[in-house]
C-alpha cells in the first residue's frame, strides 16, 4: 500500500490560531513529501490566520464543528469524515483533539492514530489524567513528544506507557540567506511570546533595569500580547524605564522583529522547545534562556547560547551583559546557534523523521 499510492494523512487541532503547536502543524503539513502523502487538515474552528494562509495549496481543509467542550456529536462528525476520506493515518494535537480523535478514528477503523504532546500540561486535573490513561493512550498507536522533558513528564505521570511515546522535536524552516538589521550603538534585546505568567517577564524587566542602571545603552522589545501586559507595563512605568521598553503587541510575522534583535532572551519558568527561540537561532540571533523544560536539549551553555537559572534576575542580567559587551562573542554564539538548528531542528530533517515513523507503522499494520 505504501509504495502503490499516496498515504492519506489527516492532522487535527482545535484551530490554527497563533501559537507554537499551530505553527508546527503548518511546518509539518507543508514539509511532508506531496508525492508520498495526500494531506488534510481538520480544525474545530474556522479561523483565518497567518498560519492558515501559510498552508500550501495542496493541503485540503475541513471544518468539523465542536459546539462546546463536551460535544459528543463532534466525535461522530469526525468518524463520518474519516470514513468518507478513507484515511490511512490521523495525527491529533493538544488534549481536546487527542481525546475526540482517539475515539473517532478507532471507530472509523483508521489503521494508525498518533497524538503530539506539545507541552507539560501542568493544568491537568485528575479527570484529565484519567482520560489520558484509560482512553487516549490505549486507543492510539503512538504519542509523539516534542522534547525529552515532555516525554519524561508524560511517562512519570502514568498517563502514557513507556513503549507508546517517542520524541520528535519542533522544527523551523531554515532560510539560506540572512539579512541582519544593523542596529547601531543602541543594542536591542528582544523576546517573543504570550505575555503570561509562565514566561516570567517580570524577571526579564528587573534584569533589564539592572543593566540600564549599570550604564548599558540598550532597548527591550516584547513581541506578543496576553493577560500580563498591563502588569508588565505598570512595572516598566514604576521603574521609569518606559523610553527603553517597547510592547509591540501581537505580530503575524515575528521574523521582521527577530531580524532587528541583537539578542533574544527567554526568562520562562516552564517551556517545551520554543519555536520562537529556534527561529531566532536560525537567524543567527544569540540566545540567553532559562534552564527549563526542553531548552537544554537545544542550547549548550557557552557554546550555542547561554543558560541561566529561572527566577534569577542577577544571573540573567550577567549573561546578557556578557553578550552585550562582547561583539565577537555575540557573533560566535549566533553562528553556533544557527548551525545547531540547521542540523537538528530544520524542517526537512524533522519531516523526514515523521515520514519514517508513518511508513514504519503502516508497514506493520
Q: Do domains 7-171+346-363 and 187-344 have the same CATH topology?
A: yes
Helix, strand, coil in percent for the chain, rounding step 5:
45, 20, 35
Over residues 266-274, the mean pLDDT reads 94
Q: In this model, does residue 317 exceed pLDDT 60?
A: yes
Per-residue pLDDT of 12-60, as tens digits, reads 999 998 888 899 999 999 999 999 999 999 999 988 888 899 999 999 9
Q: In this model, does residue 2 exceed pLDDT 80?
A: no
Q: In this model, does residue 323 exceed pLDDT 90?
A: yes
Asked if 262 contacts 334 with a C-beta cutoff of 8 angstroms, the reply is: no
C-alpha cell at 247: 510592547
The closest alpha carbon to 128, from 157, 155, 105, 148, belongs to 157
Return the CATH number of the domain spanning residue range 187-344: 3.40.50.2000
Q: Residue 69 has what pLDDT?
A: 83
CATH of 7-171+346-363, one of 3.40.50.2000, 3.40.980.10, 3.40.50.450, 3.30.300.30: 3.40.50.2000
* Partners of 11 in beta bridges: 41, 91
Asked if 195 contacts 225 with a C-beta cutoff of 8 angstroms, the reply is: yes
pTM (two decimals): 0.88
Q: Domain map of the chain by residue range?
A: 7-171+346-363, 187-344
Q: How many CB atoms lie within 10 A of CB 244?
A: 20
Amino acid at each position: 500500500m505504501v509504495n502503490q499510492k499516496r498515504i492519506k494523512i489527516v492532522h487535527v487541532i482545535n484551530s490554527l490560531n497563533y501559537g507554537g503547536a499551530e505553527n508546527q502543524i503548518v511546518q509539518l503539513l507543508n514539509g511532508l513529501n506531496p508525492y508520498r502523502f495526500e494531506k488534510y487538515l481538520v480544525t474545530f474552528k474556522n479561523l483565518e490566520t497567518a498560519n492558515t494562509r501559510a498552508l500550501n495549496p495542496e493541503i485540503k481543509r475541513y471544518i468539523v464543528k465542536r459546539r462546546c467542550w463536551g460535544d459528543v456529536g463532534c466525535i461522530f462528525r469526525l468518524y463520518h469524515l474519516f470514513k468518507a476520506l478513507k484515511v490511512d493515518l490521523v495525527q491529533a494535537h493538544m488534549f481536546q483533539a487527542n481525546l475526540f480523535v482517539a475515539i473517532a478514528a478507532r471507530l472509523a477503523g483508521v489503521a494508525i492514530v498518533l497524538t503530539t504532546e506539545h507541552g507539560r500540561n501542568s493544568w491537568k486535573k485528575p479527570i484529565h489524567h484519567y482520560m489520558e490513561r484509560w482512553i487516549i493512550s490505549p486507543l492510539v498507536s503512538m504519542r509523539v513528544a516534542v522534547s525529552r522533558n515532555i516525554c519524561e513528564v508524560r511517562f512519570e505521570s502514568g498517563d502514557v506507557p513507556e513503549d507508546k511515546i517517542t520524541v520528535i522535536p519542533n522544527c523551523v524552516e531554515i532560510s539560506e540567506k540572512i539579512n541582519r538589521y544593523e542596529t547601531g550603538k543602541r543594542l536591542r534585546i528582544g523576546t517573543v511570546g504570550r505575555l503570561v505568567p509562565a514566561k516570567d517577564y517580570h524577571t526579564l524587566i528587573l534584569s533589564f533595569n539592572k543593566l540600564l542602571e549599570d550604564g548599558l545603552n540598550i532597548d527591550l522589545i516584547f513581541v506578543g500580547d496576553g493577560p500580563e501586559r498591563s502588569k508588565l507595563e505598570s512595572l516598566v512605568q514604576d521603574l521609569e524605564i518606559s523610553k527603553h521598553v517597547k510592547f509591540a503587541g501581537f505580530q503575524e510575522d515575528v521574523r521582521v522583529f527577530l531580524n532587528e534583535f541583537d539578542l533574544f532572551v527567554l526568562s520562562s519558568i516552564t517551556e517545551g522547545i520554543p519555536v520562537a527561540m529556534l527561529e531566532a537561532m536560525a537567524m543567527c540571533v544569540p540566545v540567553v534562556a532559562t534552564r527549563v523544560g526542553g531548552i537544554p536539549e537545544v542550547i549548550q551553555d557557552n557554546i550555542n547560547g547561554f543558560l541561566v537559572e529561572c527566577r534569577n534576575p542577577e544571573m540573567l542580567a550577567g549573561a546578557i551583559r556578557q553578550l552585550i559587551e562582547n561583539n565577537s562573542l555575540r557573533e560566535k554564539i549566533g553562528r553556533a546557534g544557527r548551525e545547531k538548528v540547521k542540523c537538528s531542528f530544520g524542517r526537512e530533517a524533522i519531516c523526514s523523521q515523521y515520514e519514517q515513523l508513518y511508513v514504519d507503522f503502516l508497514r506493520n499494520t
